[in-house]
């Protein structure tokens, strides 16, 4: 039986973390204090990493930190990093009213290199992504720097370690280049501080990590040959390699690797119920008819042996903060339906999050325990709530991912008034029936009223369930289960469809539609495609991969792939785009955000406007990183203060690697 990959605290893991955090001082600011000795310097890397246990500790830390991109949150638990990826997309906007000008709304004027952090509660995790990305790179470089000095490892074992480290470095760089554009390439742990870095072009970085992943696919074992679930495996390396092939225009290679992953690696789409049927805490309030989509997205089922679809998951469970980071999915992403936010026709509070020990509590109207008490930080767009679910011009009522009848999809008008003193008690809350929104304190109602994918957000809040007085059910708390998917097979089908689309020709285009239809058929959709364009594939990603894919990164990557393939979207746009000038021109990313999202619509939603510019496809490189590199010059992206087209960059990754050893 496979064991869960747990990361227990130990002296070695602490040592590994210290060394990773003492890598290149340039990213976090430099001072003379850096040169002064302190107790941390007594940990000698050449000693720590002279044994396999030291490598294992460093690798465990790299694996564990992958989950931070989803579960790291601010002190008030009002946001999550993955939310930023969706704010910069066609699927949602930030709506938390009490953060004022710190909300990411008018992005075209808010973003600048010195305004590095607008605040996590407003949806801005850009600085976190920069820091976390380079922390992960340092962790991988730690392993790669010292592994050849470890005695007693045979070649296959050593190469497997290298391959997993290459994956970690590639994963971080893949995301960084599609968030920040051209960034510094660092492939080793510097022995002394370096202040003369240059940026390396996105194309060059993609070339390097593609080669690294080819090595990883050759040497990293399959999951079935590994002791623990949650470690980087061959399937994960192959999945990321497919994305890199698409990003570098190697579309046939992408298809070939997807063929292997789908047909020869032992994975399967889950097409029937499996694992444990996990109901919500109040099924009499919100009944769920058991179905495969519900089972697939229960945290308790994600990493079990019966789940043949998971390629790599992120274990996140346990009784201590060391073993688990709470993931408040229901609080952060669910609508704020409670208290005075919705009024009945007779002026009462329509739905309240009553605690179980309150005399007003009604067991079959217990929405707090059934769906969680959301605060509406991120309002799903009309596209994400409604339009994307139309295929062939028809609303696909059978799609389990958008099905409220079985309990998977949450609709606001499915809630019923639970105020006993109201004449509307027990009635569905419908705006057309006289219910109204209290928009005064909640961003014109944007936090209150929108539909949501309940099957993705619902998690057992074990701490709240144990407390009869609790009015807050937020998501997976310490002691619960917040396991998440990094990669699963459904995405491989959609990546293969994309590769076939770029390759063109009738058989490939037919095959692209067939791949998308595999995913749709599993969801019991009645509407299938006969042919697909890139917008159709991007739409299916939106339906299938909400809060799994990095939506902003993937839309940007698709923009690059379209340009490299000289292909058009569904409307004939972008065939002549320049892959290296996406920030300066109309891009697929910009088109999606303004065509399908809430950006640049004028009035916006409930009188709140959202705006964005073409150059915001790439975020500004933080000024702190640029100024810390005091003897060199890093690239700043087009459209931001400090942009200089004459800034030198490394056009070949090999030149950047050679320069790393040059200290001036």
On whether the CB atoms of residues 43 and 337 are closer than 8 A, the answer is no
| 217: pLDDT strictly greater than 90 | yes
pLDDT of residue 606: 60
Top-confidence residue, 192 or 489: 489
The strand pair at 3-4 and 394-395 is best described as unpaired
Give the pLDDT confidence score for residue 536 in this predicted structure: 98
pLDDT digit string, tens, across residues 171-185: 999 999 999 999 999
Work out the number of other CB atoms within 10 angstroms of the CB of residue 560: 26
Q: Give the tens place of pLDDT for each residue, 143-180.
A: 999 999 998 999 999 999 999 999 999 999 999 999 99
pLDDT band at 37 (very low <50, low <70, confident <90, very high): very low
626 compared with 36, residue with greater pLDDT: 626
Indicate the pLDDT class of residue 460, thresholds 50, 70 and 90.
Answer: very high
Instruction: Please state the rounded mean pLDDT for residues 14-23.
Output: 35
pLDDT at 439: 62
Residue 609 is predicted with a pLDDT of 86
Q: What is the pLDDT of residues 408-432, one digit of tens each?
A: 999 999 999 999 999 999 999 999 9
Kindly give the interhelix angle for 155-180 and 126-146, rounded to the nearest 10 degrees.
Answer: 160
What is d(CA 378, CA 84) in angstroms, rounded to the nearest whole number? Answer: 10
Name which of 374, 354, 377 is nearest 364 in CA terms: 354
Give pLDDT tens digits for 104-114.
Answer: 999 999 999 98
Q: Does the structure show a pLDDT above 90 at 229? A: no
Evaluated on CA atoms 312, 555, 73, 336, the torsion sign reads negative
Beta-carbon-side half-sphere exposure of residue 365 (alpha carbons within 13 Å): 21
> What is the structure's pLDDT at 390?
98
d(CA 208, CA 187): 10
The rounded mean pLDDT for the chain is 90
Q: What is the pLDDT of residue 46?
A: 61
From 199, 196, 146, select the one nearest 173 (Cα to Cα).
Answer: 199
Query: Residue 349 above 80 pLDDT?
Result: yes
Residue 40 pLDDT greater than 60, yes or no: no
Length of the chain, in residues: 664
- Report the distance separating Cα 548 and Cα 484, nearest Å: 8
Flag whether pLDDT at 17 surpasses 60.
no
CB < 8 Å & 24+ apart, contacts of 350-353: 350/415, 350/417, 350/418, 350/419, 350/422, 350/424, 350/429, 350/435, 351/415, 351/416, 351/417, 351/418, 351/419, 351/429, 352/418, 352/419, 353/471, 353/472
User: Integer distance in angstroms from the first to the last C-alpha of the chain?
Assistant: 54
Please report, for the chain, the start and end positions of each structural domain, with discontinuous segments joined by +. Answer: 329-482
CA angle 373, 122, 378 (to 5 degrees): 45
Q: Give 380's strand partners.
A: 92
Instruction: Tell me what the mean pLDDT of segment 210-234 comes to.
Output: 95
Any idea what the Cα angle at residue 64 is, between residues 147 and 248, rounded to 5°? 70
How much is the pLDDT for 45? 59
* pLDDT score recorded for residue 395: 97
Contacts of 499 (CB under 8 A, 6+ apart): 242, 245, 246, 251, 252, 254, 255, 258
């Amino acid at each position: 039986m496979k064991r869960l990959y747990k990361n227990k605290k130990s002296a070695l893991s602490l040592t590994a973390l210290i060394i990773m955090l003492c890598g290149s001082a340039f990213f976090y600011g430099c001072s003379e204090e850096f040169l002064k000795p302190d107790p941390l310097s007594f940990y000698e890397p050449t000693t720590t990493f002279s044994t396999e246990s030291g490598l294992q500790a460093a690798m465990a830390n790299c694996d564990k930190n992958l989950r931070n991109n989803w579960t790291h949150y601010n002190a008030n638990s009002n946001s999550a990093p993955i939310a930023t990826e969706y704010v910069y997309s066609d699927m949602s906007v930030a709506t938390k009213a009490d953060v004022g000008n710190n909300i990411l709304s008018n992005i075209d004027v808010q973003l600048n290199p010195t305004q590095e952090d607008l605040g996590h509660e407003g949806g801005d995790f850009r600085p976190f992504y920069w820091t976390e990305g380079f922390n992960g790179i340092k962790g991988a470089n730690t392993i790669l720097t010292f592994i050849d000095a470890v005695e007693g490892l045979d070649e296959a074992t050593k190469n497997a370690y290298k391959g997993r480290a290459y994956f970690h470095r590639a994963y971080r760089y893949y995301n960084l280049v599609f968030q920040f554009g051209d960034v510094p390439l660092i492939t080793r742990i510097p022995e002394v501080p370096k202040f003369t870095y240059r940026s390396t072009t996105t194309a060059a970085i993609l070339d390097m990590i593609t080669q690294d992943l080819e090595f990883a696919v050759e040497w990293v074992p399959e999951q079935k040959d590994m002791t623990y679930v949650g470690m980087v495996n061959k399937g994960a390396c192959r999945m990321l390699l497919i994305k890199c092939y698409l990003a570098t225009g190697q579309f046939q290679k992408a298809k070939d690797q997807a063929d292997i992953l789908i047909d020869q690696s032992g994975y399967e789409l889950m097409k029937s119920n499996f694992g444990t049927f996990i109901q919500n805490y109040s099924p009499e309030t919100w009944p769920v008819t058991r179905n495969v989509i519900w089972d697939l997205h229960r945290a308790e089922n994600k990493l079990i042996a019966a789940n043949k679809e998971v390629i790599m998951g992120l274990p996140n469970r346990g009784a201590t903060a060391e073993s688990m980071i709470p993931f408040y999915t229901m609080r952060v992403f669910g609508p704020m339906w409670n208290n005075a936010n919705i009024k009945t026709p007779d002026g009462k509070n329509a739905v309240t999050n009553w605690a179980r020990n309150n005399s007003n509590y009604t067991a079959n109207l217990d929405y707090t325990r059934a769906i969680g008490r959301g605060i509406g930080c991120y309002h799903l767009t009309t596209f994400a709530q409604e339009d994307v679910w139309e295929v062939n011009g028809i609303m696909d009522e059978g799609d389990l991912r958008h099905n409220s009848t079985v309990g998977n999809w949450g609709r606001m008008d499915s809630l019923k008034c639970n105020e006993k003193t109201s004449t509307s008690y027990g009635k569905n809350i419908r705006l057309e029936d006289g219910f109204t929104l209290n928009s005064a304190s909640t961003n014109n109602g944007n936090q209150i009223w929108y539909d949501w994918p309940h099957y993705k957000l619902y998690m057992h809040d074990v701490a709240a369930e144990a407390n009869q007085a609790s009015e807050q059910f937020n998501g997976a708390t310490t002691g619960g289960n917040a396991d998440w998917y990094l990669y699963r097979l459904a995405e491989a089908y959609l990546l293969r469809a994309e590769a076939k689309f770029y390759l063109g020709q009738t058989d490939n285009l037919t095959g692209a539609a067939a791949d998308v239809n595999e995913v749709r058929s599993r969801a019991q959709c009645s509407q299938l495609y006969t042919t697909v364009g890139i917008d159709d594939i991007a739409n299916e990603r939106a339906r299938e991969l909400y809060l799994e894919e990095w939506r902003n990164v993937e839309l940007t990557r698709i923009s690059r792939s379209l340009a490299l393939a000289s292909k058009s979207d569904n409307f004939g746009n972008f065939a002549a785009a320049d892959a290296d000038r996406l920030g300066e021109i109309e891009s697929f990313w910009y088109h999606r955000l303004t065509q399908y999202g809430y950006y640049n619509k004028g009035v916006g939603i409930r009188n709140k406007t959202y705006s964005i510019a073409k150059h915001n496809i790439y975020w500004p490189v933080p000024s702190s990183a640029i100024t810390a590199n005091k003897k060199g010059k890093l690239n700043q992206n087009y459209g931001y203060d400090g942009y200089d087209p004459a800034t030198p960059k490394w056009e070949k990754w090999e030149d950047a690697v050679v320069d790393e050893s040059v200290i001036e």
